[in-house]
Amino acid sequence: MEAETVALMTSESPDALVLLTAKGHVVHWSKGAQSIFGYSAEEVDGQHWETLGVPTDHATEQGIRIQETLGLGTVTYEAVRRRKDGSLLYVDVTTKLVHTADLEPMVLSAEKNVTTIKVLRDAKLMEARFRDLLESTPDGIVMANPTGHIVIANSQAERLFGYAEGELRGRSVDELLPERYRKAHVGHRSNYFLQPRKRAMGSGLDLSGLRKDGSEFPIEISLSPLRTEESAFVMSAIRDISERKRFEKALQEKNLELANANQAKDRFLAGMSHELRTPLNAIIGFTGTLLMKLPGPLNDEQQKQLKTVQSSARHLLALINDLLDVSKIEAGKVELNVEPVDARALLDEVAATLQPQAISKGLTLTVQGPIQDTMLQTDRRALSQIVLNLAGNALKFTEQGHVWIILESGVNGAATIHVEDTGIGIPEEDQDKLFGAFSRVRNERPDAPEGTGLGLHLSQKLAELLGGKISFQSESGKGSTFSLVLPMG
């Protein structure tokens, strides 16, 4: 009868009773052990206890306790154990050295789950020390012990997750995360306690919180380790970023709308090239015919007005041409024809084209640099357009002195084309925005020349397509030098 009573007590004890060999392998596993740790007797039979229920960072301590038991006969201590599902718990352990009938040494381990007791004990301590401080913070604060159980949570955290006052205490912190995050979170938490360190808000991955009612919301978390005389803790500051996520989503949608609208604009302008240019060319052509007096003589007022029409039409055509070219570049519809180009010959052609304009203003326009061939692998039309824009601007904004087009080649495998003038220069406050679309240099002169505000923007875009870049140096009232650097190969 006594033997049956002992067997019944052993079998039905709510505590875990585990019989181990001297090397730590499981020989006997009680129902209490199955209830606490989640493994059946068949799963653990012959397995090493350290690989089943002892966290990696506690394995050394477990080995020491077994050896103490073999030497001293009995040992009592507190330990952390791991369940089958990966969750952790605190246990009070009493181990005793026993022997089988053939005198083989065994270790009988009685382990009682004291997680709730320990959480309540730690909660009382942390409440006394930190409650007022935690309530003063705007974020939700959750403090957890090494087993992942919540010791204290401030009222902001309770409201954030939809729990009543004190209802979070003792729960696993994993319950605040959706199911898909929990398995990974157990590993992250264990690693964190091995190497505790501060982690700032927003430096982690995108996470979601799980409210008591099952709804999810986006969160950011900062982590801070905290150690007392009794234990180690991790303090998590949790912030609901739902509003920010909504704003970011709305901003992304608006950016997408703007991008689509911009693409539609580019497609429209690229497609309207012929329709926009044809009537303007007709206006310019017929105005030129009238100014040549082919249909008949003009009086002075008629000639003046026709020149105004011609000048305005040419200005509008230049604006449309630049706008269409920029739109084509941004729409990715510019096709380059890369071929060997004699840079000096191209610069001479540009200078010849602009020479009448220079002569009419009494300016000296010259090309300087090596006479021999300086060959570039580039697109002739794009390069010609860039230099025409730069030199044309220089002539436009120079009233006396010179405009020099200077070619330098062979420096670091690149060729540089400088356009130097003695014009009005660029005020310092305008220099940062010079290459922006529709950027205009402010000028107080009433007779200051007009520009489309697209020439330099277009030139820089073309330079980038050619693998180069335009830079400049300028001082107000003392002229400017624009430099185009292009690879030679």
Q: What is the mean pLDDT of each run of 10 residues along the chain (489 residues)?
A: 55 86 91 92 90 86 90 92 87 92 89 90 85 87 88 92 92 87 68 64 73 92 81 86 89 89 73 72 85 84 85 78 75 82 91 89 92 84 91 92 90 87 88 73 52 77 91 90 89
3-state secondary structure of 275: helix
CA–CA separation, 86 and 297 (whole Å) = 101
pLDDT of the residue at 386 = 92
Among the four given CATH numbers 3.30.43.10, 3.30.565.10, 2.40.50.250, 3.30.920.30, the one describing domain 338-487: 3.30.565.10
> What confidence score (pLDDT) does residue 142 get?
92
Contact partners, residue 252, CB within 8 Å, separation at least 6: none
The DSSP bridge pattern shows strands 216-227 and 207-210 to be antiparallel
pLDDT at 420: 95
* CATH code for the structural domain at 2-113: 3.30.450.20
Q: What share of the chain is helix, strand, coil (3-state, %, to 5)?
A: 45, 25, 30
Say what the pLDDT of residue 1 is: 43
| pLDDT, position 223 | 84
Any idea which residue has 């089988």 for tokens? 100
For residue 444, the model assigns a pLDDT of 47
Residues with Cβ within 8 Å of residue 69, at least 6 apart in sequence: 75, 95, 96, 97, 107
Alpha helices by DSSP H, listed for 149-272, are 155-161, 179-194, 242-271
R_g of the chain computed on alpha carbons: 41
State whether the Cα torsion 36-42-46-47 is positive or negative.
negative
Q: What is the pLDDT of residue 101?
A: 79
pLDDT of amino acid 277 = 75
What does DSSP assign to residue 435? T
Q: Residue ranges per domain, the chain?
A: 2-113, 117-240, 246-330, 338-487
- Asked, colleague to colleague, whether 2-113 and 117-240 share their fold, the answer is yes
The CATH number of 117-240, from 2.40.30.10, 3.30.1370.30, 3.30.450.20, 3.40.50.720, is 3.30.450.20
Print burial letters for 37-58: b (CB count within 10 Å at least 16), e (below 16): bbbeeeebeeeebbebbbbeeb
- 246-330 has which CATH code? 1.20.58
d(CA 458, CA 464): 10
SS3 labels along 314-376? HHHHHHHHHHHHHHHHHCCCCCCCEEEEEHHHHHHHHHHHHHHHHHHCCCEEEEECCCCCCEE
| Tokens encoding 387 | 């230099």
